[in-house]
Structures are given as C-alpha cells and as structure tokens.
C-alpha cells in the first residue's frame, strides 16, 4: 500500500464505517433472535432454557451494541481511531499523521512496503500498525522463526525485533517481509543503536539492561549534539 495525502484519515474512516456496518448487523441479528425467543420461548421449552437464551442474546446485543457506539464515535471523531492513537502520545495525532504524509510525498520519508521510516518515526501500517520515535530506537535485528504444525514445517515468519530506550527497553515485534533497505534506512537515521543480534548483546541486555540503555543513550545524545 502506498500512502498519499489524507491516507490515515481515509483509512480510519473506512475502518470505522465497516465496524459500524458489521456491528450493526450483529445487533440486528441478535435482536431478531431475542424477539423470536420471547415470542416462542414459553411454548418451546422450560423456564431455565428461556432465561439462558434471553441472557445470552442480551449479552451479545450489549457487546455488539457497545462496539457499534465505539465505531460511531470513531467515524465522527477520527482521532479516536487506533491509527491516530498511535501518534497521540507524541502530540496532535492528526497533525503528526499529515506531516508524515507530506514527508512521504516529498521523499523525505521512505516507504518500504507497509513500513515507513521518516526522520522522526518508524511507522508500520496495516493490522500491526504502530509508531516508534526513531530517537527511542536502541536495538534492532531481523529474526526468522520456523513455523510448524505437528512437527511438519509450514514456513518461516520474518520479523523485525525492535527494543527501545523508553520504558526500560520496550520490545516491539513487527511481522514484515524483510527488506535490507529498511535496516539500511534505520542505520542511517539511528546510527547510535545496536544493529544485529549477537549472544554478547543478548546477554548484556538480559543481565545489565540499564547499563546497556545508558550506553546507547550516551551514543544517541553525542550523535545529536554533533548534528546540532
């Protein structure tokens, strides 16, 4: 997918509309079931069965009704959508999303499949959407995981493992089609970070994480001071 002006708002509204339709249909179906139960129930079964059927249908109506309300709110105010909530921790989500769209259009930010690397952010699109400030990137390495069913290999998943400086080393795993261009882009924009997996780095991260984070912070601050 390629993003253009208005991409994030369009995706948020489209997602909200589908959620509105989907949950509205579920509410209508379970209201119909509940109506049938109330009309036919007394003649069809015991009081206990009737109570169970009424309770279950009421539960589903409440559940999907709430999701219907959530979808309606997101359609009215797109900033409520998870796509924008990813940006909200760092400022005005609508403004930040539009700024990213402009950077992609200007060629300042690079898009690689469903991953965007900008001067400030690493953004993933699609179901696994997320936003990571580049200034918080501490350790990045590609990881291949073999998958199997009943010990029969069915394929390999490729993920980009990212550990950040915030939250004492938050770990994020993005499932992507690995592209060396993504790592190259990150290496250029966040040169202070560790790139690649080694047993030594894993041991340091596990046994002396705070020391490793402090070392990476110093490297980042030094790079940023030199660039200022």
pLDDT tens, position by position, 48-73: 677 888 889 899 999 999 999 999 99
pLDDT recorded at residue 125? 79
Exposure string of 197-222, with b = 16+ CB inside 10 Å and e = fewer, is eeeebeebbeeeeeebbeebeeebee
**What predicted TM-score, i.e. pTM, was given to this entire model?**
0.73
User: Other CB atoms closer than 10 Å to residue 40's CB: what's the count?
Assistant: 11
Beta 121-124 vs 171-175: how paired, if at all? unpaired
Token duo for residue 196: 């690649």
% of the chain with per-residue pLDDT over 70? 87
Secondary structure of 154-182 in HEC code, one letter for each residue: EEEEEEEEEEECHHHCCEEEEECCCCHHH
pLDDT tens, position by position, 160-194: 888 898 855 566 666 666 567 888 888 999 999 99
Q: How far apart are the first and last CA of the chain?
A: 35
Mean pLDDT of the chain: 85
List Cβ neighbours of 21 (8 Å cut-off, separation of 6 or more): none
Residue 92 has pLDDT above 70, yes or no: yes
pLDDT recorded at residue 127? 64
- Rounded CA-CA distance 204/158 in Å is 24
């Amino acid at each position: 997918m390629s993003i253009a002006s208005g991409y994030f708002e369009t995706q948020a509204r489209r997602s909200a509309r589908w959620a509105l339709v989907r949950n509205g249909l579920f509410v209508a179906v379970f209201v119909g079931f509940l109506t049938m139960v109330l009309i036919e129930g007394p003649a069809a079964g015991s009081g206990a069965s009737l109570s169970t059927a009424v309770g279950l249908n009421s539960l589903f109506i409440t559940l999907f009704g709430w999701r219907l309300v959530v979808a309606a709110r997101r359609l009215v105010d797109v900033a409520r959508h998870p796509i924008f909530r990813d940006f909200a921790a760092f400022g005005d989500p609508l403004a930040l999303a539009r700024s990213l769209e402009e950077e992609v259009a200007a060629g300042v930010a690079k898009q690689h499949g469903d991953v965007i690397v900008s001067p400030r952010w690493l953004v993933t699109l699609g179901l696994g959407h997320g936003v990571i400030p580049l200034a918080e990137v501490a350790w990045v390495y590609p990881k291949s995981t073999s998958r199997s069913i009943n010990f029969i290999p069915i394929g390999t998943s490729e993920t980009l493992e990212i550990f950040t400086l915030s939250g004492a080393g938050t770990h994020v795993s993005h499932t992507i089609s690995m592209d060396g261009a993504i790592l190259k882009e990150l290496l250029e924009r966040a040169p202070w970070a560790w790139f690649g997996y080694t047993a030594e780095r894993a041991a340091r991260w596990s046994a002396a994480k705070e020391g490793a984070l402090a070392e990476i912070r110093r490297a980042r601050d030094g790079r940023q001071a030199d660039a200022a």
